[in-house]
């Protein structure tokens, strides 16, 4: 009986840690299979939502029993942000009427709490250094499994489950074409890339601190998979954060190795280089002088990123007009459509075609690809307009559709200055906490802390172009790792203080 009671006490003392360990594996590795779809969106209730609900319930019970604690300063900051979120929801749903579907606005509001509460659960598990090392090693194991599955997708036709559109979100098994960007166990290539970008500085920091080659090998395969995602914003975030990190800790030989390896792999994989070259393209296009419509002659294929209609006119307009064939094609298509719609009669078709052809003028331009053009012409202006409706509270969660492809614009558009400032306050206080906790620690511990700081910088760069903090697998991972690091360095600084 005594042995059984002792075992139950050990289980009780470590219950949160055990279920958190399961969550560390579940979030990145379990594909986004829906349990119940939410109406008017392709967001779904999934296994991780149910698991987290159970985990939060156990956490609250343990908190009431005083088996775990929370950081009161972070609790206050998080609370202010959640108040801001629900204030924006109330204004958008009931006053400004900018939220079309109230249940979606509520869902998006609750998701902020769902993602972020993981921070407090992770923080509460760190009672010894062993707790931190065990949980962070579980994290490294999941990274390895994620990248191995990603390589399996690339070379062995492993299936993918994505949520890139409403049909895919229903949970279909997809088999990627050879030129497709891999997503591993994630919902799309973009959030896989962000996950790897925030992981790489942490991996390198443990390699430098522990001097184990296993961490270096994990970095190499992670970099390979990152390049196969062909995510330009994530690659930029990786390059800036990793190079800056290695310069900051003065590991110049490792920096040279990383640079040579990165350049070599870029040319080996090839796709990321092509995508960078297609970001901005010098083209001679046709512009309808009467309507302003833009026509770009191009072949649309799965292997090439098409140009968008956003362009910058070059001053030098010299050059031969080689667009006659494309002009005729545009005129024919527009004339046929106008005739079929009844806009013009058959007798007026020739006159319409001649006028249209005369209005189409060739212009030398720099055009952006469709990805950049969508942000510049649609998503970011939509977020700015939403912000203008209520500068203080924004237009409310879910009011600017599923994606804005830029977290800063999304925060302003949905939550206004109140929500944006309160969220940034959390992030800045998080950085400040880690930075000041590691200043008086030894070099190896300091490097581990710096790994997290530069991981955060990578995420912050990525968030300028992608909704990084909204991607569930990325958000869960970020807040979980943040909780582990804050818990660990608070413990280390406390021990250091007691020793002095």
Q: Which candidate, 455, 238, 173, places its Cα nearest to that of 183?
A: 173
Q: Report, as an integer, the average pLDDT of 460-483.
A: 94
- Given a cut of 70, whether residue 310 has pLDDT beyond it is no
On whether the CB atoms of residues 31 and 185 are closer than 8 A, the answer is yes
Is residue 93 located within the same domain as residue 23?
Answer: yes
How far apart, in whole angstroms, are the C-alpha atoms of residue 179 and residue 192?
A: 17
Q: What is the span of the domain harbouring residue 331? A: 278-374
Query: Which residues fall within 8 angstroms of residue 209, CB to CB, at 6 or more apart?
Result: 444, 445, 447, 448
pLDDT: is 385 or 316 the higher one?
Answer: 385
pLDDT at residue 233 in the model: 92
CA atoms within 13 A on the CB side of 195: 34
Secondary-structure breakdown of the chain: helix, strand, coil percentages, each rounded to the nearest 5: 70, 5, 25
On whether the CB atoms of residues 464 and 188 are closer than 8 A, the answer is no
Helix axes 129-156, 189-210, angle to 10 degrees: 130
- Given a cut of 70, whether residue 459 has pLDDT beyond it is yes
Determine, yes or no, domain membership for 382: no
Q: What 3-state DSSP class applies to 1?
A: coil
Is residue 199 located within the same domain as residue 308?
Answer: no
Average pLDDT value for the chain: 87
Q: Tell which of 342, 374, 406 closes a domain.
A: 374
Is residue 201 located within the same domain as residue 332?
Answer: no
pLDDT at residue 33 in the model: 86
pLDDT at residue 256 in the model: 97
On whether the CB atoms of residues 391 and 416 are closer than 8 A, the answer is yes
Give the model confidence (pLDDT) of 199-222 as tens digits.
999 999 999 999 899 999 999 999
Q: How confident is the model at residue 347 (pLDDT cuts 50, 70, 90)?
A: confident
30 DSSP 8-state letter = S
Buried b (16+ CB within 10 A) or exposed e, 113-136: ebbbbbbbbbbbbbeeeebbeebb
pLDDT at residue 336 in the model: 81
71 DSSP 8-state letter = -
pLDDT at residue 335 in the model: 77
Considering its fold, how many domains does the chain have in total? 2
pTM comes to 0.90
Helix axes 232-248, 252-269, angle to 10 degrees: 160
Q: Report, as an integer, the average pLDDT of 303-326.
A: 60
On whether the CB atoms of residues 359 and 290 are closer than 8 A, the answer is yes
Cα dihedral across residues 165, 191, 462, 485: positive or negative: positive
Q: Report, as an integer, the average pLDDT of 447-459.
A: 97
Q: Tell which of 374, 400, 421 closes a domain.
A: 374
Q: How confident is the model at residue 354 (pLDDT cuts 50, 70, 90)?
A: confident
Determine, yes or no, domain membership for 385: no
Determine, yes or no, domain membership for 85: yes
- Given a cut of 70, whether residue 171 has pLDDT beyond it is yes
Is residue 267 located within the same domain as residue 365?
Answer: no
Least confident of 88-102, 140-154, 331-345, 419-433: 331-345
Is residue 222 located within the same domain as residue 292?
Answer: no
Is residue 365 located within the same domain as residue 403?
Answer: no
Is residue 84 located within the same domain as residue 125?
Answer: yes
Determine, yes or no, domain membership for 383: no
Is residue 261 located within the same domain as residue 331?
Answer: no
Is residue 124 located within the same domain as residue 52?
Answer: yes
Q: Tell which of 308, 341, 374 closes a domain.
A: 374
Is residue 299 located within the same domain as residue 412?
Answer: no
Determine, yes or no, domain membership for 157: yes
Is residue 253 located within the same domain as residue 346?
Answer: no
Determine, yes or no, domain membership for 257: yes
How far apart, in whole angstroms, are the C-alpha atoms of residue 179 and residue 250?
A: 38
Determine, yes or no, domain membership for 197: yes
Helix axes 129-156, 2-29, angle to 10 degrees: 40
Q: Report, as an integer, the average pLDDT of 184-205.
A: 95
Give the model confidence (pLDDT) of 82-130 as tens digits.
999 999 999 999 999 999 889 889 999 999 999 999 999 999 999 999 9
Give the model confidence (pLDDT) of 31-80 as tens digits.
988 888 777 676 788 999 999 999 999 999 999 999 999 999 999 999 99
Percent of the chain with pLDDT over 90: 59
pLDDT at residue 37 in the model: 79
Is residue 241 located within the same domain as residue 295?
Answer: no
pLDDT at residue 251 in the model: 96
pLDDT at residue 277 in the model: 67
Determine, yes or no, domain membership for 384: no
Helix spans in 65-101 (H)? 72-90
Least confident of 44-58, 66-80, 340-354, 461-475: 340-354
């Amino acid at each position: 009986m005594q042995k059984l009671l002792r075992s139950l006490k050990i289980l009780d003392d470590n219950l949160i840690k055990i279920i958190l360990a399961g969550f560390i594996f579940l979030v990145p590795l379990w594909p986004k299979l829906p349990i119940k779809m939410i109406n008017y969106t392709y967001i779904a209730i999934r296994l991780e939502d149910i698991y987290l609900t159970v985990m939060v319930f156990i956490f609250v019970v343990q908190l009431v029993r005083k088996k775990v604690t929370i950081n009161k300063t972070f609790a206050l900051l998080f609370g202010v942000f959640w108040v801001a979120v629900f204030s924006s929801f109330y204004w958008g749903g009931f006053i400004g009427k900018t939220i079309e579907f109230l249940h979606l606005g509520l869902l998006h509001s609750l998701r902020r709490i769902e993602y972020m509460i993981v921070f407090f659960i992770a923080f509460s598990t760190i009672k010894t250094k062993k707790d931190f090392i065990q949980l962070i090693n579980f994290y490294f194991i999941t990274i390895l499994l994620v990248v191995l599955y990603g390589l399996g997708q690339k070379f062995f036709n492993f299936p993918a489950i994505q949520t890139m559109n409403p049909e895919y979100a229903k949970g279909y098994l997809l088999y990627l074409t050879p030129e497709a960007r891999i997503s591993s166990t994630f919902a799309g290539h973009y959030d896989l890339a962000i996950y790897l970008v925030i992981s790489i500085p942490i991996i390198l920091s443990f390699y430098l601190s522990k001097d184990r080659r296993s961490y270096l090998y994990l970095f190499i395969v992670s970099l390979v998979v990152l390049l196969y995602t062909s995510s330009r914003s994530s690659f930029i975030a990786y390059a800036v954060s990793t190079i800056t990190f290695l310069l900051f800790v003065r590991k110049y030989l490792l920096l040279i190795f990383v640079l040579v390896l990165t350049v070599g792999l870029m040319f080996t994989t090839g796709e990321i280089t092509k995508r960078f070259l297609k970001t901005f393209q010098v083209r001679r296009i046709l512009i309808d002088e009467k309507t302003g419509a833009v026509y770009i002659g191009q072949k649309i294929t799965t292997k090439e990123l098409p140009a968008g209609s956003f362009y910058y006119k070059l001053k030098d307009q010299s050059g031969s007009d080689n667009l006659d064939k494309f002009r005729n094609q545009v005129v024919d298509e527009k004339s046929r459509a106008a005739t079929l719609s009844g806009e013009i009669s058959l007798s007026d078709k020739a006159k319409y075609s001649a006028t249209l052809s005369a209005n189409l003028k060739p212009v030398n331009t720099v055009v952006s690809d469709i990805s950049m053009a969508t942000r510049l012409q649609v998503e970011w202006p939509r977020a700015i307009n939403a912000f203008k409706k209520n500068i203080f509270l924004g237009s409310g969660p879910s009011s600017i559709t599923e994606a804005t492809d830029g977290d800063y614009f999304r925060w302003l558009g949905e939550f206004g200055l109140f929500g944006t400032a309160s969220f940034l306050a959390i992030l800045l206080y998080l950085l400040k906490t880690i930075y000041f906790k590691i200043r008086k620690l030894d070099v190896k511990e300091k490097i581990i802390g710096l790994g997290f700081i530069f991981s955060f910088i990578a995420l912050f760069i990525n968030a300028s172009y992608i909704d990084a903090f909204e991607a569930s697998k990325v958000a869960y991972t970020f807040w979980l790792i943040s909780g582990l690091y804050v818990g660990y360095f608070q413990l280390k600084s406390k021990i250091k203080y007691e020793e002095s």
